[in-house]
With several copies, the nearest count.
Chain A
Amino acid sequence: MRVGVVTFPGSLDDRDAQRAVRLAGGEPVALWHGDEDLRRVDAVVLPGGFSYGDYLRCGAIARFAPVMRTVIERAAQGLPVLGICNGFQILCESHLLPGALTRNAHLHFRNRDQRLRVENVSTAWTSGLQRDAEIVVPVKNGEGCFVAAPDVLDRLEGEGRVVVRYADGNPNGSVRDIAGICNANGNVVGLMPHPEHAVETLTGPSTDGLGFFTSLLTATVS
């Protein structure tokens, strides 16, 4: 299975996302922001980082990259897309996901090992996880505070589209402790924590992140 990882100028965790795809058994494919061609991939990861320096607003400039034109189009047709951190911000800016990510309530960049509760296991990226499981995955962001209008939040909750929630402390002030959400179809998932940094015991606090990548691979095979 070919999983594309987009590199924007300023992407940082692109190689890490590729490693995670590889460790999960997939074939990582490097995609370039300036190229509309998705190179026949079966899914796309928008990785973490500071695309365009996070200037203006995180993800605001990356949203207009040529590659995003195709990603937006194909996402509507069901292509699995995972946005991690900066990728989540790009998905919100692109209106593939509702809401927005704003400056952390405490105003600092914060990097910590974060406990999360998995609440939706029917998305393309979480089908292999246990519902209500608690997992530990690093967060690291300065603008990860999820906000949305109350009616949007109610709809997200009502439709079960909160995919992961912060447990045991909220690192950035996100409303209702929301750490990640999905679109109505469940093919597009965005989250602030970094599952690609929890794929090896040697370099991460756990291997809980691997499940996001293996979910995709096993779901599509079966």
Chain B
Amino acid sequence: MPRVVVDVMLKPEILDPQGTAILGALPRLGFDEVTAVRQGKHFELEVTEPVDEGRLRQLADILLANSVIEEFTLRVLP
């Protein structure tokens, strides 16, 4: 069954408190090489064939991502 992956991230100009908190914890753990962290959501969908990518984008747009503050990327896995 085809799989679709949607990654949802806050728009770059929007504050990401989660990423900031993780970044703050890293030096204590000795991971100084990380200079920025952003956290988003990752969705994996199973869909029936045929895959209509346009419809799925619409789905991501209205349900998975909040277009006021987030943006998404969508990939259909082979």
B22 touches A55 (CB 8 A): yes
Q: Which residues of B contact A55 (CB under 8 A)?
A: 17-18, 21-22, 39
Bound complex: CA A104 to CA B29 (Å): 24
Partner of A56, one of B10, B14, B29, B64: B64
User: A103 to B14, alpha carbons, bound, how many Å?
Assistant: 11
Known pairs A56-B21, A60-B63, A148-B68; A102 contacts B14 (CB<8 A)? yes
Task: Name the one of B10, B14, B18, B63 contacting A107, with C-beta atoms under 8 angstroms.
Answer: B18
Interface pairs (22), CB distance under 8 Å = A52-B21, A53-B17, A55-B18, A55-B22, A56-B18, A56-B21, A56-B39, A56-B63, A57-B66, A61-B25, A64-B25, A64-B28, A98-B68, A100-B66, A100-B69, A102-B10, A102-B14, A103-B17, A104-B17, A105-B17, A107-B21, A149-B13
Bound together, the chains give a CA A104 to CA B20 distance in angstroms of: 12
Identity of the chain A residue whose Cβ is nearest the Cβ of B14 in the assembled complex: A147
Considering only residues 12-65 of chain A, those with a C-beta below 8 Å from chain B are 52-53, 55-57, 60-61, 64
Chain A contact residues: helix, strand, loop or mixed: loop
Which residues 71-97 of A have a CB within 8 angstroms of B? Answer: 92-93
Interface residues of A in 85-141 (CB under 8 A from B): 92-93, 98-100, 102-107
Contact-residue size bin, chain B (C-beta under 8 Å from the other chain): 10 to 19
Q: Supply 11 further A-B pairs (C-beta < 8 A) apart from A53-B17, A103-B17.
A: A53-B21, A56-B21, A61-B25, A64-B25, A99-B68, A100-B66, A102-B14, A104-B17, A106-B17, A147-B69, A173-B15
